[in-house]
Structure 1
Amino acid sequence: MQIRLAIQADLKPLCHLLDLYRQEQGYESDLAACFNFLNQRLAEKDSIIFLAIDELGIVGFVQIYPAYCSLMLNTSWKCADLYVLPAYRQQGIADEMLTKAKMIAQTANIDLMLIDN
Structure 2
Amino acid sequence: MNIYQATIEDTQHLSILFNAYREFYYQETDLAGASSYISERLKQKDSVLFVAEHEGKYVGFAQLYPTFSSIAMQKAFILNDLFVAEEARKNGIGDQLLLKVKDYALAQNVLRLSLSTAIHNKAAQRLYEKHGYVRDTDFYHYQLTLED
Considering Cα pairs closer than 8 Å and 6+ residues apart, tell me whether 1 or 2 has the greater RCO.
1
Matched position secondary structure for 1:50: strand
Deviation at 1:56, TM superposition (A): 3.1
Q: What is the alpha-carbon distance in structure 1 between the residues aligned to residue 115 and residue 99 of structure 2?
A: 12
Q: What TM-score does the superposition give when structure 1 sets the normalisation length? A: 0.95
Secondary structure of the structure 1 residue equivalent to 2:71:
coil
Equivalence for 1:112: 113
| Aligned amino acid, residue 82 of structure 2 | L
Listed as ranges, the matches of 1:19-58 within 5 Å are 19-58=19-58
Once the 2 structures are TM-superposed, how far is the Cα of residue 32 of structure 1 from its aligned partner? 1.1
Identity %: 35
Question: Which runs of no fewer than 5 residues in structure 1 stay unpaired?
Answer: none
Q: Secondary structure at the match of 1:27?
A: coil
Rg bigger for which structure? 2
CA distance in structure 1 between the aligned counterparts of 2:69 and 2:104, rounded to whole angstroms: 20
Q: Distance in 2 between matches of 1:69 and 1:101?
A: 18
4+ residue runs over 6 A deviation = none
Aligned partner letter, 2:94: A
Structure 1 or 2: larger strand share? Answer: 1
Q: Note the alpha carbon deviations across 1:41-90, whole angstroms, 9 max, x for none.
A: 00010101010001132110000101112222111001021111111101
Aligned equivalents of 2:65, 2:17: Cα separation in 1: 18
Amino acid at match of 1:3: I
| Cα-Cα RMSD | 1.0
Mapped to 2, the partners of 1:65 and 1:33 lie a distance apart of 19
Find the aligned partners of 1:4 and 1:34 in 2 and give their Cα distance: 20
TM-score when normalising by structure 2:
0.76
Instruction: Give ranges in structure 2 of 5+ residues lacking alignment.
Output: 119-148
Which amino acid letter does the alignment assign opposite residue 91 of structure 2? Q
Matched, 1:93 2:74: no
Secondary structure (helix, strand or coil) at the match of 1:78 reads strand
Alignment-derived partner of residue 83 in structure 1: 83
